[in-house]
Structure 1
Amino acid sequence: MAIMTHGAGAGIRRREFAGVFAMLALALGIPAAAVHLSRPEDLDEATDLQRRLIAEVSNIVIPRTDTAGAGELGVGDFVILALAHGLEGSRAPMSAQALPVLARFRRPDGSLRHLQWLEHELGIRGKGHFMTLSPDHRRELLRALDAEGFAQDNPQHPWRTIKALILTGYYTSEVGGSQDLRYELTPGRWDPNLPLEPGDRAFSSDWTAVDFG
């Protein structure tokens, strides 16, 4: 059983953006998965293994169903880029007192190296690198981390930031925004009352309909 049950379809058009245009792309509604990594030195030197890890984590959070999984759409690369540019407050200083175990992953400015933390945390929990574990074991570890991260007494847990970026990356992609969600051009037609059936997809224009928990 995956953490999220959204998912999957054909490919997605990709464009190349310089790093500083990532936030602009998001603001303009350009599919997040279209962002292409070009200068890894600007992204805390993310390794190939870390890129594989965040792609796999993205696929576990939003696996393939009748639409493509998040990792398949390049959401892992989006997360790396988003972390580098501080989306979801990821470059804000963190309190060392709030989570002392994170001290080794803090930058000189007090912000957290989320990707390095995630790789280390999953490795400790799995007693080996996450990518060497079986698919079932990976899902089990991430499910436990997810439950811990969203516990009421962990408001600054770094997993919350990572998961929020995975969801943002997926639901601003072409597949997530127009296939996994229902898309209707705004303003469209006004219907004061709409029937709602079990299993109906949320509308991508109604962001509050997306469950970020």
Structure 2
Amino acid sequence: MKRRDALSRVALLMGGAISAPTMLAFLEGCKSANETSGGIAFPFSAEQKNLVAEIAEIIIPKTDTPGAKDAKVGEFIEMMLKDCYAAKDQDSFAAGLKELEGKNFLKASPAEQVTLLTAMEKTAKEDMAKTGEEKKKATEAGKEYTDPGVPFFRLVKELTLLGYFTSEEGATKALEYVPVPGRYDGCIDLKPGQKAWAM
């Protein structure tokens, strides 16, 4: 699967919008250690690994298809943050992890975990809207704007979808997959209940 194809699939799953850092990280590839050194320590601690894996599993749970843990999405998120994201985004991610650790996320009930993540998602949407307004005002005033980084929940959701649907499990078991495609048919109707095609 080509990077652009995977990115377009994730953008479609996110409702057509994907953050600029994720787009740049995926299209440009890895950066040097100087460009990506932030306030988060790599490798993640065992508790942080469990926390990231659990959040990803809540976003894409195991059903009749593999979940995010089966696709090792937690490891993918850690690798992408370390190698491809700027320090400000790493710092944002670190702050989100710290907030969830402080609320004993791993010891909370499944319903409480969903409530915490739903609240973080709402806050992330509000923060992104506020950032957009501030950036617009700064641009109109001719001032330079310093982007605070992508909010934690937005990052973890984008990376979970990206990691899952570009993994072998996601592409071959959650989507309709043809390992050696035949001729190209540009428009094929899906049968009722059929999975979307992997790219």
With normalisation by structure 1, the TM-score equals: 0.58
What are the residue-to-residue correspondences of 1:7-156 with 2, within 5 Å?
44-86=42-84, 90-91=85-86, 94=88, 111-123=89-101, 128-151=103-126, 153=129, 156=150
Aligned to 1:201: 195
The whole-number CA distance in structure 2 between the counterparts of 1:195 and 1:79 is 34
Please tell me the residue identity of whatever aligns with 2:70: E
User: How many residues matched?
Assistant: 145
Q: Structure 1, residues 132-175: CA drift from partner, whole Å, max 9, x if none?
A: 11111111211222233245615632322221111111111111
Provide closer, same or farther for how the CA distance between residues 115 and 51 of structure 1 changes in structure 2, counting only shifts above 3 A: farther
- Cα drift, residue 115 of structure 1: 4.2
- Structure with the bigger RCO (C-alpha within 8 Å, sep 6+) is 2
Q: Structure 1, residues 20-41: CA drift from partner, whole Å, max 9, x if none?
A: xxx9xxx8xxxxxxxxxxxxxx
More divergent stretch after superposition (193-202 vs 159-168): 193-202
With normalisation by structure 2, the TM-score equals: 0.61
Aligned to 1:174: 168
- Identity between Structure 1 and Structure 2 (%): 31
The whole-number CA distance in structure 1 between the counterparts of 2:187 and 2:43 is 51
Provide closer, same or farther for how the CA distance between residues 198 and 114 of structure 1 changes in structure 2, counting only shifts above 3 A: farther
Provide closer, same or farther for how the CA distance between residues 188 and 136 of structure 1 changes in structure 2, counting only shifts above 3 A: same
Please tell me the residue identity of whatever aligns with 1:146: E
Structure 1 alignment gaps of length 5 or more: 1-22, 28-41, 95-110, 206-213
The whole-number CA distance in structure 2 between the counterparts of 1:144 and 1:200 is 33
- Cα drift, residue 192 of structure 1: 4.1
Runs of 4+ in 1 over 4 A off after TM superposition: none
Provide closer, same or farther for how the CA distance between residues 50 and 192 of structure 1 changes in structure 2, counting only shifts above 3 A: closer
Q: Which has the higher helix share?
A: 2
Please tell me the residue identity of whatever aligns with 1:62: I
Aligned to 2:178: 184
The whole-number CA distance in structure 2 between the counterparts of 1:114 and 1:51 is 17
Provide closer, same or farther for how the CA distance between residues 79 and 172 of structure 1 changes in structure 2, counting only shifts above 3 A: same
3-state SS, counterpart of residue 70 of structure 2: helix
